Amino acid sequence: MDGKERVIFHIDVNSAFLSWEAVYRLYHLGGTVDLRKEVSAVGGDMAMRHGIILAKSIPAKKYHIKTGETILEARQKCPNLMLVPPNYRLYEQCSKAFMDILRKYSPSVEQYSIDEAFVDMTGTEKLWGAPMEAANRLKNEIRDTLGFTVNIGISENKLLAKMASDFEKPDRVHTLWKSEIRKKMWPLPVCDLFFVGRATAKKLFSLGIQTIGQLAQADPAVLKSHLKKHGEVIWAFANGMDISVVQSEPPANKGYGNSTTIAFDVVDASTAKLVLLALAETIGARLRAAGARAEVIAVGIKLHDLSYVSHQMMLRNATNITIEIHHWACQLFDELWDGRAIRHLGIHTSRIRDGLDMRQLDMFETVDYEKLERMDAAVDQIRKRYGNDSVMRAAFIGRPIDHMSGGISREKRTVDYKKIQVN
Ligand SMILES: [Mg+2]
């Protein structure tokens, strides 16, 4: 596509939550059992996450235990399954130590989730050697200093690097250069391609498309007629096209936004809405501190499978009221979300109005907005004097979510594959 080819790494921690727990037990708690070698899993807290499997060991995979299924289902498959509870604080510490090592190798690191990152290694050959050599060095340094293993995928773009890191695990480096697509990617089943969910795979099967190679060689016009824009996107992916760049810095902020990578996959709407409330808290506070109100609210959801969806709406009245921002964000969320596991949530506000803004009166308006504004102002005052944690909504008590925005990454850009251009 262009003369200057890039070198992109995708680094993915092998069975992250489980490995981190295993390493912690071995090296810090004096344990002797390595959970990674046992039929084991991290199981969500019964009360909070309805007892869902959050991560499993490689031996547990042989019992077909799946992330996201209930502990009950997993126990039916394997009654001797060793279950350990989640430890989000530990995950955040491990994630940070992992990212710190990546940043030694390149200044261009995009944290994609708690246990995954893209690193742009273009032009680092003099420092770290050829891509394969650099990747092995990086992989081994993580293993030898932090005790857990990673897979590294190498390619010219993010999509192919991400595909490559998913090849044989654990503790492996794989390349998937564009020149290797035919050999390494095309024989794979079409559902292995990012963005090809179950529904899409079904449609592709009905068109006689079983492998990524068949998809790549299909007529894009036919795909478009059956799958609309999405057909073109997956056709481009199947041909290894991806022009998105590693986003180590958040983009220039024209509005006020905030997003967070959640320490665990969110699979229920109420937890997602609590995360949205935490985001609304910080955005509302920032708008109020600037004496501004927003007229447009957008919500973005990054799903477990690398896909990204977003939606925005224009408000009748510009606002900076926390619970009003949250209210509209939840409405957008309900329209957007299809139930798939969520990695990352964001709210962005734009069309910013400065200064006083008269709210248009609505005959049927029953909400006392002035009262809500006075409440926000009082909370802002208290937080300013006594710190952000001096006042907290009761909804956050006992939940693993930071009440002022949350998670490990406060301002992280996501891969917006919707904006991809197909050349
Ligand atoms: Mg992983």
Q: Give the lowest-confidence range in 7-11, 333-337, 407-411.
A: 407-411
- Looking at the fold, whether 195 and 90 belong to one and the same domain comes out as no
Q: Is the pLDDT of residue 37 over 50?
A: yes
Last residue of a domain, one of 176, 197, 212: 176
Nearest to 321 by CA among 346, 345, 349: 349
Q: What is the Å distance from ligand 1's center to 304 Cα?
A: 11
Whether 8 is in a domain gets the answer yes
Whether 141 is in a domain gets the answer yes
Whether 350 is in a domain gets the answer yes
Close Cβ partners of 140 (under 8 Å, ≥ 6 residues apart): none
- Span 197-217, average pLDDT: 93
Give the number of other Cβ atoms within 10 Å of residue 291's Cβ: 11
Whether 417 is in a domain gets the answer no
- If you search the block for the tokens 């299924």, which residue do you land on? 69
- If you search the block for the tokens 């810090």, which residue do you land on? 28
According to DSSP, residue 51 is labeled: S
Fill in the amino acid letter for 179: S
Q: Is the pLDDT of residue 49 over 70?
A: no
- Looking at the fold, whether 43 and 103 belong to one and the same domain comes out as yes
Tally of domains within the chain: 3
pTM of the model: 0.64
Distance CA 71, CA 69 (A): 7
Could you tell me where the DSSP H helices lie in 166-307?
A: 198-206, 212-216, 220-238, 269-289
- Looking at the fold, whether 172 and 226 belong to one and the same domain comes out as no
What does residue 348 show for φ and ψ, rounded to 5 degrees? Answer: -130, 135
Q: What is the Å distance from ligand 1's center to 143 Cα?
A: 14
Q: Is the pLDDT of residue 419 over 80?
A: no
Q: What local confidence, expressed as pLDDT, does residue 114 receive? A: 81
- Looking at the fold, whether 215 and 171 belong to one and the same domain comes out as no
Q: Give the lowest-confidence range in 2-11, 24-33, 45-54, 277-286.
A: 45-54
pLDDT band, residue 78 (cuts 50/70/90) = very high
User: Which one of the listed residues 21, 110, 116, 156 is annotated catalytic?
Assistant: 116
Q: What local confidence, expressed as pLDDT, does residue 383 receive? A: 86
Q: What local confidence, expressed as pLDDT, does residue 91 receive? A: 84
Whether 181 is in a domain gets the answer no
The larger pLDDT score, comparing residue 188 to residue 387, is at 188
pLDDT band, residue 413 (cuts 50/70/90) = very low
Nearest to 16 by CA among 169, 230, 235: 169
Torsion sign across C-alpha atoms 310, 347, 258, 95: negative
Q: Which tens digit of pLDDT belongs to each residue from 118-138?
A: 999 999 999 999 999 999 999
Q: Which tens digit of pLDDT belongs to each residue from 148-174?
A: 999 999 999 999 999 999 999 999 999
Q: What is the CATH number of the domain that holds 204?
A: 1.10.150.20
Identify which of 223-227, 380-384, 393-397 has the greatest average pLDDT: 223-227
Q: Is the pLDDT of residue 2 over 50?
A: no
- Looking at the fold, whether 153 and 192 belong to one and the same domain comes out as no
Give the number of other Cβ atoms within 10 Å of residue 85's Cβ: 11
- Looking at the fold, whether 261 and 234 belong to one and the same domain comes out as no
Is 29 within 8 Å of 141 (Cβ atoms)? no
Q: Which two tokens stand for residue 329?
A: 């964000």
- Looking at the fold, whether 319 and 263 belong to one and the same domain comes out as yes
Task: Count the helices and strands in the chain (H runs, E runs).
Answer: 14, 12
Active site (annotated) includes residue 370:
no
Is 18 within 8 Å of 56 (Cβ atoms)? yes
Close Cβ partners of 109 (under 8 Å, ≥ 6 residues apart): 99, 102, 103, 117, 118, 119, 246, 248
Whether 418 is in a domain gets the answer no
Nearest to 310 by CA among 278, 263, 350, 281: 350
Q: Which tens digit of pLDDT belongs to each residue from 324-380?
A: 999 999 999 999 998 888 988 999 998 887 765 566 665 556 778 888 888 898 999
Q: What is the Å distance from ligand 1's center to 16 Cα?
A: 5
Q: What local confidence, expressed as pLDDT, does residue 76 receive? A: 92
Q: Which two tokens stand for residue 345?
A: 């949530």
- Looking at the fold, whether 127 and 221 belong to one and the same domain comes out as no
Q: What local confidence, expressed as pLDDT, does residue 119 receive? A: 96
Q: What local confidence, expressed as pLDDT, does residue 365 receive? A: 63
Q: What is the Å distance from ligand 1's center to 211 Cα?
A: 24
pLDDT band, residue 415 (cuts 50/70/90) = very low
* Residue % of the chain over a pLDDT of 90: 50
Distance CA 402, CA 412 (A): 16
CA 72 to chain centre: 27
Q: Give the lowest-confidence range in 216-225, 246-255, 287-296, 363-372.
A: 246-255
Count of alpha carbons within 13 angstroms of residue 154, beta-carbon side = 17
Residue 107: C-alpha distances to residues 85, 102, 118, 126, 154 (Å) = 35, 9, 11, 15, 17
- Looking at the fold, whether 329 and 232 belong to one and the same domain comes out as no
Could you tell me where the DSSP H helices lie in 46-87?
A: 46-49, 58-61, 71-77
According to DSSP, residue 359 is labeled: P
Q: What is the Å distance from ligand 1's center to 15 Cα?
A: 5
By residue range, what is the domain housing residue 121?
1-176
Q: What local confidence, expressed as pLDDT, does residue 422 receive? A: 22
Q: What local confidence, expressed as pLDDT, does residue 274 receive? A: 93
CA 322 to chain centre: 24
Q: What average pLDDT is seen over the chain? A: 85
According to DSSP, residue 189 is labeled: B
- Looking at the fold, whether 161 and 218 belong to one and the same domain comes out as no
Q: What is the Å distance from ligand 1's center to 6 Cα?
A: 23
- Span 205-213, average pLDDT: 96
Q: Is the pLDDT of residue 60 over 50?
A: yes
- Looking at the fold, whether 65 and 170 belong to one and the same domain comes out as yes
Q: What is the CATH number of the domain that holds 142?
A: 3.30.70.270
Distance CA 137, CA 130 (A): 11
According to DSSP, residue 423 is labeled: -
Q: Give the lowest-confidence range in 124-128, 163-167, 217-221, 267-271.
A: 267-271
Whether 419 is in a domain gets the answer no
Distance CA 241, CA 215 (A): 13
Torsion sign across C-alpha atoms 402, 408, 413, 414: negative
Q: What local confidence, expressed as pLDDT, does residue 405 receive? A: 61
Q: What is the Å distance from ligand 1's center to 371 Cα?
A: 46
pLDDT band, residue 257 (cuts 50/70/90) = confident
- Looking at the fold, whether 359 and 403 belong to one and the same domain comes out as yes
The larger pLDDT score, comparing residue 209 to residue 27, is at 209
- If you search the block for the tokens 């609505």, which residue do you land on? 362
Q: Is the pLDDT of residue 261 over 80?
A: no
Count of alpha carbons within 13 angstroms of residue 415, beta-carbon side = 28
Q: What is the CATH number of the domain that holds 298?
A: 3.30.1490.100
pLDDT band, residue 18 (cuts 50/70/90) = very high
Distance CA 99, CA 114 (A): 9
Last residue of a domain, one of 158, 176, 194: 176
Whether 421 is in a domain gets the answer no
Q: What local confidence, expressed as pLDDT, does residue 363 receive? A: 57
